Structure 1
Amino acid sequence: MNKMKFSRVNGRIWSPIAIWSLAFASSFPISARAQDWRPIMDKLTEKGIFSKEDRDEIDKEMEAAGAEKASPAALPFSLKVGGRVQLRFAAQQNDPNGKDKEDSFRIRRARISMDGTLIEDVDFHVEADVSREAALEEAEIRLLYFPWAAATLGQFKTPFSMENLTSAKKLDTAERAEAVTALSPDKEIGLMVGGKFFDKRLSYRASLTNGNGKNKKANDNDQFLYVLRLEGVPVREGHLFGRNFSASIGANAALSHDSAVRAEEIFGVSKALGSASEGKRRLAGCDLSLRWGKSSFKAEYLYGNFKPSRRGLRQINAGGYYVQGGHYLTPDIQAIIRHEDYDPDRHVSDNSDLRWTTLGVNYFIREHDLKVQANYIFKGEDGISVKNDTLFVMIQLLI
């Protein structure tokens, strides 16, 4: 009885001393501390200097100190290598009055990416497309010191258009809407600043870039592309008629002075300029995204104006939109319907004016990591009717 009491008393006396004596071990890895100190602690416990309760308490404190030392805050460097492959089959309706289209398989995208943290509040992202010849897609250094003004330097997506900013691996359809593809600026080299406010309900992104596209050695003139996007989340986790409900809105604008622009580069397919030209490009757009239970709704409108500097050439006004609905039939199967309209030149009515309707099904085998998308596009154009409906079937694998 006295021996047991003596052990506890000595344990109370020795525990603080032992803990302070072992505290310097927190500078070593957990495995090293365990290897060095646990045999000694076993011996002290065996001799009655520590009780089992004291021993357990010391173990917990040592493990906690080690976990704190090994935390990401103390050792910020990290690196994650990933990638994705999208294999697509395309079949297009043959027009009796036109050239037959060849059905074919295609590697739509094959990307390799690296993401990580260099030091605290400094992240990086690099992505390359190797589906054909290797080409750099994105190369970003992100400075996250200020949540209200996080900076991104390098080559990145310009902050324009909700669907354009959605990664291709998370698109609801196999391809983006034509208006989004034609009117959104390409990936650019420059600087972007963004921040979030009011519990992340309001955010902004503003970029200053060269304005001549990705993978260019330098600016092609002394002008820049200015882009601003604002986003709001009026309802984040609401309820409507007994179902979860959320709503977000966005608006963006862009301005640039372009040099030596080719006709086909003006909003996609316009031929109004004939040859290369110089002028001011203005872009604007707004978007809406709603989620209600298993259903979703998205809509976006985009507008573009190009004013040539040379006299005698008229302005080009382009515009387009899409409206899209989705519903999960099961947890793994989503049905999609989208209607889109795009007019690359409102002064001309021809086959370039597009009115397409897409019916789609997404099968999520393992969420977006492994999924199959099937889209059938009913294509309509102004001018001469063309039979060119298209079927896409695409499988995606993320690694």
Structure 2
Amino acid sequence: MINSYRTLFKAVTLSLTLFLISATILHAQTFGDEPDFNEFREQLKNDYFSVGALLQTVGNFQPERTSGENGFSIGNARLQVYGEFDQGFGYQLQTNFTRSSPILDANVYYKFSPGFQIKTGLFKSPFSYEFLTGAAAIDFVNRSTVVNRLAPNREIGAQISGQTTDGILRYRLGAFNGNGFGANQNSDNNLLYVGRLEAQFHTDQQQSEDQITFGVNVSRETKEQTGFIGNHNGDQTLLGTDVRITQGDLFLGGEFIYSWLDSNIDYEQHNPFGYHATAGYFITPKTQLLARWDYFKNDDLLLTPNSETILAGLNIFPTQVSEIQLNYVIPTQRSIEYSQVLLNFQISI
């Protein structure tokens, strides 16, 4: 017990010391131009061919662990190329070398107009604001529990999307195999249908970042074999909603996802659900404090147990392409020995 508290205390103290030093330096420093990044952007980013990369090293420390070991890992090692040619034809190819199946995205699209675009191939199914946010830009080291457990993942299929002329309303509607991104063909004759409707309002015309984004998500699938939620077999319906409000240095966000799973095995309905409520504030232009309440109930169906946690976060942005994240995860239903410290160093270009 004493050794566990010492381990936790050392991890937290070291992480906070590093971050306080970094925050002090960043607060006192005035950032000017970044010539190396500007040159890279001029050479390797244009309309028809752009190169991007994401590198993340994650430290994971926990006095009492339910799985894994304390230490470091490569969270992401991504490389992507993307672009758009004449008359609205575009493409994206993205890999992650930390996976046994390295292809993340492989798709092409055609923009008929701002109101109608079609995309085919492998890409993120249109469900959940947090899931659709890129890995380099999420608020914490990991996405919320409910998004990780319930939201449909990358899928192979086709999608139509578009927006109104004023840009306020946006829609996405897709049909997919429903096998996840590790399979190349559908496992049965049924498809996964996913849709998202999003409204975005600017609250200050002078400040483009001051806005409210509200979204509604729905998905439906009947699986004769394993579906997108665990090992569930049967009808699977998800309904979700999310909101994000940004005003100056402050943002408030939240998401709720509820499921109706009609099992062909025990002929009962299961309803895993969850939500998160998140807040963040930039105490300096390069330093952000965050807090999150994260809740998930598995309804005795999924292998993952119920969870209820409080997260505290500190994000530091030394440059346009770099970020350091510190997360302290406190399980409300377990002792402090099961608290977790996550430390992420990343470069995203």
On whether the aligned pair clears a TM of 0.5, the verdict is yes
Residues 101 and 205 of structure 1, relative CA distance in 2, 3 Å threshold: closer
Q: How does 1:136-285 map to 2 (within 5 A)?
A: 136-237=103-204, 245-261=210-226, 266=229, 278-285=233-240
CA contact (8 A) 1:158 1:227 kept: yes
Which protein is richer in helix relative to its size?
1
1:324 — aligned with what? Answer: 278
After TM superposition, the structure 1 stretch with the greater mean CA deviation from structure 2, 327-336 or 144-153, is 144-153
| SS of structure 1 residue aligned to 2:146 | helix
Q: 1:343 aligns with which of 276, 279, 297?
A: 297
2:309 is aligned, of 351, 356, 371, to 356
Q: Are the aligned partners of 2:294 and 2:309 in contact in 1 as well (CA < 8 Å)?
A: yes
Task: State the 1:244 CA deviation.
Answer: 7.5
SS of 2:332 mapped into structure 1 = strand
Cα separation, partners in 2 of 1:117 and 1:338, compared to 1, 3 Å = same
CA contact (8 A) 2:316 2:323 kept: yes
Three-state SS of the structure 1 residue aligned to 2:112 is coil
1:337-380 deviation per Cα after TM superposition (whole angstroms, max 9, x unaligned): 011110011x689981111111000000113x111000000013
Partners of 2:188 and 2:225 within 8 A in 1: no
Structure with max Cα Rg: 1
Q: CA RMSD in A?
A: 2.6
- In the alignment, is the contact (CA less than 8 A) between 2:175 and 2:194 conserved in 1? yes
Determine if the alignment matches structure 1 residue 135 to structure 2 residue 80. no
Distance 1:217 1:349 in 2: 25
Taking structure 1 as the reference length, the TM-score comes to 0.71
Maintained 8 Å contact 1:94/1:101: no
SS in 2 for 1:164: helix
Q: Give 5+ residue unaligned stretches, structure 1.
A: 1-75, 269-275
Asked if 1:374 corresponds to 2:326, the answer is: yes
1:386–1:137 CA distance, 2 compared to 1 (3 A): same
Q: Deviations over 1:197-238 (max 9, x none)?
A: 040001100001111111312101111011110001233435
Q: Is 1:398 aligned to 2:337, yes or no? A: no
Residues 305, 315 of structure 1: 8 Å contact kept: yes
**Between Structure 1 and Structure 2, how many residues are aligned?**
304
Kindly indicate whether the alpha-carbon contact (under 8 Å) linking 1:283 and 1:303 is maintained by their aligned counterparts in 2.
yes
Question: Contact between 1:153 and 1:192, CA under 8 Å: does it hold in 2?
Answer: yes
Which one-letter code corresponds to 1:126 in the other structure? L
Indicate which of 362, 365, 374 corresponds to 2:318. Answer: 365
Q: Does 1:334 align with 2:334?
A: no
Instruction: Report the TM-score when normalising by structure 2.
Output: 0.81
For 1:83 and 1:308, the matched residues in 2 are separated by 41
Residue type at the aligned position of 1:209: F
Q: Any stretches of 5+ residues in structure 2 without a counterpart?
A: 1-45
